[in-house]
Amino acid sequence: MKRRTFMAAGATGAVAATVAAPAIAQTLPEVSWRCASSFPKSLDALYGPLDTMTKQIAEATDGRFKIQCFAAGEIVGAFQTLDAVSAGTIEMCQSPGYYFVGKDPVLALMADVPFIMNVRQRNAWLYQGGGQQLINDYVKKYNVHTVPGGNTGTQMGGWFRKEVRTLDDLKGLKFRIAGLAGQVMAKLGVVPQQIPGGDTYSSLERGVIDAAEWVGPYDDEKLAFVRVAPYYYYPGFWEGAPTVHYWIGQDKWNALPKSYQQIFNNAAAANNMDMTAIYDARNPAALRRLVAAGAQLRPFSTEILDAAFKAANEIYAELSAGNADFKRIYEHMRAFRNEEYLWWQVAEYSFDTMMLRLRQRG
């Protein structure tokens, strides 16, 4: 009996060793990355999700996958982040694609371009409409892989030192504005300026620029634009749903275990949703405080919006004529957008219009 018990125990131990061996062989590696953001730490709704995501990744991997975060300017400037990742100087960055429009106009389509989609429509295109796959197929030329990691929702039209009622009021106006939106506004006589967020207030205060757009009430209050440019315009028709992406060196991404890749994707998706929720939750109260502090809310005139829409479509046609990649991705996005609005006007828009009417009745 003792001999049979010993043999059974021995057999059990052998089976356990056989089962455990692969687990030991597959011990997850220690990974340490550096990530440069295009945003300052003071803008917690933009920079904050990066910190949150990296903590989630570390916790999900028992501290084996660590990402150290750096704000704009700590390693590289806000507009040099992609170059740093492509060159292998850092492993990843947090930036919107339209920051690199001077390098490649196709990259602006990753973030946002004028008169396209709202945040839910853009996420539908990215996650379910094939948009993100199109993007990643394209950005391989920069030796990067990208993952959506945030969206502010529709932005405001910016802060102006004087009122802009007509197209004539825009002529010669120096306006801090990024991406293809700057090219659209240039067609209307504006002189676009690409300035990092952290330097925008001082540029307005010193009169280097006449107007600036950033995000919306929550961030704009932090940057104190109301002190130097009281006219606050809406809507930001160039940014209905600007996506912030995580850009990762392609070799670094490929070297990650599949489990790490999935953890990264899940954490980024959660933070993509969370960034929108942060802005939706905090913008209303911030807008009230800005108005109390002297902000003069103004809608862009129909004249300006119609001219901007015409200019945007002219630019899309010009870029498509000379850039096959821009044409391919833009037309894919536009076709998806048109289908979305067929549905939107039936349910979403009609619901919002109904709720606005009921709210106005009290």
pLDDT band of residue 27 (cuts 50, 70, 90) is: confident
Q: Is the pLDDT of residue 1 over 80?
A: no
> Scanning the structure block, which residue is given the tokens 């001077």?
102
Say what the pLDDT of residue 69 is.
98
* pLDDT on residue 194: 87
Calpha distance 302→75 (Å, rounded): 43
Query: What does the CA dihedral 176, 106, 140, 150 come to, rounded to 10 degrees?
Result: 50
Quick check: 174 and 191 in contact, CB under 8 A?
yes
Element (H, E) at 146: strand 144-151
Tens digit of pLDDT for each residue in 193-228? 988 878 899 999 999 999 999 999 999 999 999 999
Short-list 25, 67, 33, CA closest to 49: 67
- Give the pLDDT mean for 102-119: 96
pLDDT of residue 4: 42
Mean pLDDT computed over 27-37: 95
Bridge partners, residue 95, by sequence? 245
CA-to-CA distance for 236 and 217, rounded, in angstroms? 12
* C-alpha span between 109 and 114 (Å, rounded): 10
Amino acid code (one letter) for 58: A
pLDDT at residue number 15: 39
Which residues lie across from 145 on neighbouring strands?
Answer: 248
The bridge status of strand 191-193 relative to strand 174-176 is parallel
- Would the pLDDT of 3 be above 70? no
Q: What pLDDT is recorded for position 26?
A: 58
Both tokens of 32, joined, read 């340490």
Tell me the pLDDT tens digit for each residue of 307-359.
999 999 999 999 999 999 999 999 999 999 999 999 999 999 899 999 999 98
The angle formed by the CA atoms of residues 84, 90 and 96, to the nearest 5 degrees, is 60
Question: How far is the C-alpha of 180 from the C-alpha of 102, rounded, in Å?
Answer: 9
